A and B are shown apart, each in its own frame.
Chain A
Amino acid sequence: MTTNLHLHDDDLVLHYYGELPAPEDARAESHLSACQACQTNYAKLQRLMAFVDSAPAVEAPPGFERVVWARLEPELHQTRRGWTSWVRLSPAYLALAAGVVVLVGAAFVAGRLLPRSGAGGPAPQSAEKVRERILLVDLGEHLDRSQMVLVELVSANNESGSVDISTERARAEQLVAANRLYRHTAVSTGDAAMATLLDDLERVLVDVAASPATVSQADLDSVRRRIDSKELLFKVRVVSSQVRERQKAAIQERTKQSTLGS
């Protein structure tokens, strides 16, 4: 940058943000006061930044706080509480505990079905495959529970003009946190189709979790439209049944290998 040449766009950016060292900043000021072309360019930059500033930030959707809490609360309890306090857990946490039992149970079954490593036996399965089978068991349960909520919402009775969805809402609240974990797992394992389905499912679950206990006909129709537009119920059914098939196939494969190894 010199006082004779025009100021570079990048120098104008630094000047705008007050990031030029003092001597250079003084020279830029001096140049700007004398150079019409640079003044015009700088005014354009200022208008651009004012335009950016005038854009309101994107707001969280209605009921966001409630959804954040629904996702957060189970994790806080895990953080805060030791094992001894599990006896005082609410039904929501007992449901989570049941999930853990399912996982441990699945791990046990998978472990029983794993061939014993040793001379002449088949090659041991990778830990990844065992984890996948454990995940399949729990994911299948999760999809079934989600499917039940969707079915209940689609077939909810609305004769009186308003519908009590407090049961579905409570279930959706419980499912949101687990769904998020499965979605993250699907993303990290590169299962894009599963991640997309879980993303679509989570948005509906989050909406339901954030709804009041009693909703109007119009609100319920809106939820139903969201379920229909993504063919969510159909997709969840299909994927749930695929997961079951994969689970069955994995167990059959293990049984076969176990038999061959014995």
Chain B
Amino acid sequence: MPHTDAAAVALARHGDSDAFRVLVERHSRAVYRLAHRMTGSPQDAEDVVQETFLKAYRQLGRFESRANFGTWLHRIAVNCSIDLIRGRRHQEAGHDAADLDTLGSADDNRVDPSPERLMLSAQVQERVSRAMDGLTPMERAAFVLRHFEGQSIDEISRALGLKANAAKHSIFRAVRKMRLALEPFVES
């Protein structure tokens, strides 16, 4: 088994599929985490992982050996997630108009698991996941890219094919919705 990603990439470039398998085993979980954050769906995240590695395999020749494979793969995964979200952009019509006031009440209607049975981090994860599920796909993508990926609003607008102002307002709406959904727990 190649010890470094660079060694595995070099072998994979020459058709060694076992070497590429090593890269899949090393990086697929990280790609899944990112894809799940971006899409909010396990099924979509799995599809993004699949597409990411397929694209990476096809573009191995373009990968510069001095670069970090994980970072390169991460960029491909972001783009694959965005492609998937863009493909569903039409679904935002109507969903975008989600009434902010209803978010909190909708959340309250869900069955809460007993706090005793959950570890704190799992509770936090669930709360944040629910809050993010209240975002439209575009708001979610913009928020994830800004908050977790550290991309600037200009970069986000280019990546999502939005005007800078639209990207900015997607982030504002996302934060407003997150606030409504989470502030009761954060401030309690």
B106 interfacial by beta-carbon distance below 8 Å: no
Q: Contact size class for B?
A: 35 or more
CB-CB < 8 A to B152: which residues of A?
19
Which one, B32, B121, B147, B187, contacts A44 given CB within 8 A?
B187
B-contacting residues, A12-32, CB 8 Å: 13-14, 17, 19
Q: Is the CB of B15 within 8 A of A80?
A: yes
Known A-B contacts A69-B25, A71-B50; the reply to A199 vs B183 at CB < 8 A is: no
Closest B residue to A47 using CB positions: B186
Known A-B contacts A19-B152, A60-B32, A65-B24; the reply to A55 vs B129 at CB < 8 A is: yes
Is chain B's interface secondary structure helix, strand, loop, or mixed overall?
helix
Q: Contact size class for A?
A: 20 to 34
A68 interfacial by beta-carbon distance below 8 Å: yes
Task: Determine the distance from Cα of A64 to Cα of B175 in the docked complex, in whole angstroms.
Answer: 32
Q: Is the CB of A55 within 8 A of B186?
A: no
B69 interfacial by beta-carbon distance below 8 Å: no
Q: Is the CB of B17 within 8 A of A73?
A: yes
Task: Determine the distance from Cα of A77 to Cα of B146 in the docked complex, in whole angstroms.
Answer: 37
Which one, A19, A65, A80, A180, contacts B28 given CB within 8 A?
A65
Q: Is the CB of B121 within 8 A of A13?
A: no
Q: Is the CB of A52 within 8 A of B171?
A: no
Could you give, for residues 129-153 of chain B, a 1 whenever the CB lies within 8 Å of some chain A CB and a 0 otherwise? Answer: 1000000000000000011000011
Q: Is the CB of B125 within 8 A of A58?
A: yes
Closest B residue to A177 using CB positions: B50
Closest B residue to A66 using CB positions: B25
CB-CB < 8 A to A55: which residues of B?
121, 124-125, 127-129
Q: Which 7 A/B pairs are nearest by Cβ-Cβ distance? A: A55-B128, A57-B33, A60-B32, A65-B25, A58-B36, A55-B125, A55-B124
Give the interface of B toward A (CB within 8 A).
15, 17, 20-21, 24-25, 28-29, 32-34, 36-37, 42-43, 45-47, 49-50, 53-54, 57-58, 121, 124-125, 127-129, 146-147, 152-153, 168, 171-172, 175-176, 178-179, 182-183, 185-187
